[in-house]
Amino acid sequence: MATYAAYGSNMHPAQMGERAPHSPTSGVGWLRGWRLTFGGGDIGWEGALATVTEDRDDPDARVFVVLYDVTDEDELNLDRWEGSELGIHRKIRARVDTADGPVLAWLYVLDAYEGGLPSARYLGVMAEAAEIAGAPAEYVRDLRMRDARNVGPGPGPDAV
């Protein structure tokens, strides 16, 4: 098993239960020296997608993550969900600081330019997931207060 660090919508236990049903959570932690950002607005159907990037200019930069012990089978399934075969995301390894000490984990980073707004729904899923996992209230509030685009339902079946 490998340790996976989720910082986006995969932090949500219901979503990960569908995508990686054999991979339990193993804790939470922080990517220190990294910041949460969004990009690939032309890739996502609702708007920009979450990603992380190193931030050497801000000594307080950090991103909350949920850790999962991922089976090989679930890792392949996650790769499909994340579009690794399509080049949307790539995997990297990074050190995650936990209450029990540092852990080396893999995570997905978006292979696209930074910028664009995520949907309000997407940010809501991320904020709810962070809250469920025990992220500090300030972190959850910052997710809920980010600028977002409101995406309404698409055209109905009778649209021309």
C-alpha 79/C-alpha 71 separation (Å) is: 12
Highest mean pLDDT (candidates 47-51, 68-72, 76-80): 68-72
Among residues 18, 46, 54, 82, the one annotated as catalytic is 82
User: Is 26 annotated for ligand binding?
Assistant: no
Q: Give CA torsion, residues 33, 50, 76, 72, to 10 deg.
A: 40
The DSSP letter of residue 98 is E
By C-alpha distance, which of 10, 28, 25 is closest to 108? 10
pLDDT at position 155 over 60: no
Say whether 54 is catalytic: no
- Per-residue confidence (pLDDT) for residue 157, from 0 to 100: 43
* 68 has a pLDDT exceeding 80: yes
Q: What is the pLDDT of residues 15-64, one digit of tens each?
A: 999 999 999 999 999 999 999 999 988 776 788 999 999 999 998 999 99
Residue 39 marked as a ligand binder: no
**pLDDT at site 43:** 75
For residue 6, say whether it is annotated as part of any ligand binding site.
yes
pLDDT at 121: 92
Name the fold adopted by 2-145. Answer: Hypothetical upf0131 protein ytfp (3.10.490)
Percent share of the chain, pLDDT over 70: 93
Average pLDDT, the chain: 90
| Angle of CA points 39, 40, 42, to nearest 5° | 140
On whether 2 is known to bind a ligand per the annotation, the reply is no
Look at residue 82 in the predicted model and tell me its pLDDT.
Answer: 86
Domain layout of the chain by residue ranges: 2-145
Can you give the pLDDT at residue 156? Answer: 41
9 is in an annotated binding site: yes
